[in-house]
């Protein structure tokens, strides 16, 4: 959607520039430091607009190239860090995980049985 708005804005700018250039068709004197020439104003306006577009487009291409290069460098860095993190950590044994999990439910079951026995004896845990 953002690209569509940029295209529409560019077309409106080109239309306004074209209208402005067509209205100003008189010849003007342009000083080029080493020579003075007479040029129709329409050519001067369109030429300056074209040169400005080329400059802005060139900067955009350069910026995009630089960002892509930095993005590639950062992806390589992330891959290096992930590889070093994977080699630095020791793999967890599933046997150890199963043994710790098997004791936890027994402990929870024992606590549940203790609380049932306490309630059966008539001790309310909510009162003093």
Q: Is the pLDDT score of 59 beyond 90?
A: yes
* Residues ≥6 apart with Cβ < 8 Å to 39: 27, 28, 30
Which pLDDT score is estimated for 29? 92
For the entire predicted model, the pTM comes to 0.53
pLDDT digit string (tens) for 67-76? 999 999 999 9
Nearest to residue 26, comparing CAs of 14, 44, 9? 44
Higher confidence at residue 21 or residue 57? 57
Calpha distance 121→115 (Å, rounded)? 10
Which pLDDT score is estimated for 79? 93
pLDDT digit string (tens) for 108-118? 555 555 555 55
How far apart, in Å, are the Cα atoms of 28 and each of 35, 41, 43, 71, 119?
14, 6, 10, 48, 104
pLDDT digit string (tens) for 43-53? 888 899 899 99
Q: What percent of the chain has pLDDT over 90?
A: 34
Nearest to residue 20, comparing CAs of 47, 56, 51, 46? 46
Which pLDDT score is estimated for 116? 58
């Amino acid at each position: 959607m953002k690209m569509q708005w940029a295209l529409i804005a560019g077309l409106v700018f080109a239309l306004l520039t074209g209208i402005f250039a067509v209205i100003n068709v008189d010849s003007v004197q342009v000083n080029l430091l080493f020579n003075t020439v007479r040029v129709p104003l329409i050519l001067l306006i369109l030429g300056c607009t074209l040169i400005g577009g080329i400059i802005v487009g060139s900067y955009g291409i350069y910026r995009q190239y630089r960002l892509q290069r930095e993005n590639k460098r950062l992806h390589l860095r992330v891959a290096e860090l992930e590889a070093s993190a994977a080699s630095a950590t020791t793999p967890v044994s599933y046997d150890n995980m199963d043994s710790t999990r098997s004791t936890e439910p027994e402990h929870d079951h024992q606590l549940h049985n203790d609380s049932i026995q306490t309630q059966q004896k008539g001790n309310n845990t909510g009162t003093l």
